[in-house]
Amino acid sequence: MAASANFLDSSKYSSPGLRGAHAYLLPTLLSLSRDLPPSSRILDVGCGNGSVTLEFAKRGHSVVGIDLAEAGIRIARQSCPSGRFEVLAADRNVLDKLGEESFDLVYSAEVVEHLYDPRSYMAGCYTATSPGGKFICTTPYHGYLKNLAISLAGGWDKHADPLFDGGHIKLFSRRTLSALMAEAGFRKLEFRGAGRYPYFWKSMIICGTKP
C-alpha cells in the first residue's frame, strides 16, 4: 500500500468511534457482507481507528486490521481487543507479513484515492482474498453530473485541493475503479452509491469476487 502523507498523519486518530465517511458507508458494507457465515475471517485494509472493524467483530467474525497510522492502530487495539491490528502496508506479500491465511472478506474504505501506486495495493487485496471470497472497495464518487456541478460552482480547488498534504491524489470513476479491480482479477463486480443523492453520491462502493 504505497501511501501518501495522510496515512502517516497520526493526529487524525485521537479517539475511537466512526469517523467521517465510515458512518454512511457502514450500512452498505454490512449489507454486501450479510451472507457471510458466522466466524468468517475479515481483513480491513486501512482500518484507521478500527471503528468499522469493531462492527464486524460484534457480529462474531474474526477480524484483522492493517494501517500505516500508529495512533489509529493503538486505538483499534484498545477498542476491539478481540481483533488483531498491525502497522502494515497492503502489497503482494501482505499475507506472508501477517503470517495469516487468506480471508473470506477483505474491504478497504476510502483508501485507494490516497495512494501513489494503487495497482500494488489492489494486488495485495487480491492476494489476501480467499478463492470465492469478496473484496469491497470504497472511494469518493466521481461521475459526469457531480463533476459538472463541481465545475459550474467553481469548486475544484476546494474539492481536490493540491495544497492539502495527504489529500486525494487519484480521482476514480466507476469505470476506472472497476478496471483496476478487474485487472487485479476480481469478477462479478457490483456497484453501490452512498451518501447524498443518486449520481451526486459522496462515495461509491464496488464489490468483487475472487474466482
pLDDT in tens, the chain (211 residues): 444 434 445 456 667 778 789 999 999 999 999 999 989 999 999 999 999 999 999 999 999 999 999 999 999 999 999 999 999 998 999 999 999 999 999 999 999 999 999 999 999 999 999 999 999 999 999 999 999 999 999 999 988 888 888 788 999 999 999 999 999 999 999 999 999 999 999 999 999 999 9
Please say whether the beta carbons of 112 and 204 come within 8 A: no
d(CA 32, CA 90): 22
Partners of residue 32 on adjacent β-strands:
none
- Evaluate the CA torsion angle 22, 185, 129, 98 in order and state its sign: negative
| Environment class of 198 (CB within 10 Å of its CB; exposed 0-12, middle 13-18, buried 19+) | exposed
Determine the pLDDT at residue 11: 52
CB atoms within 10 A of CB 211: 9
Pick the CATH number of 5-209 from 3.40.50.150, 3.40.109.10, 1.20.140.10, 1.25.10.10: 3.40.50.150
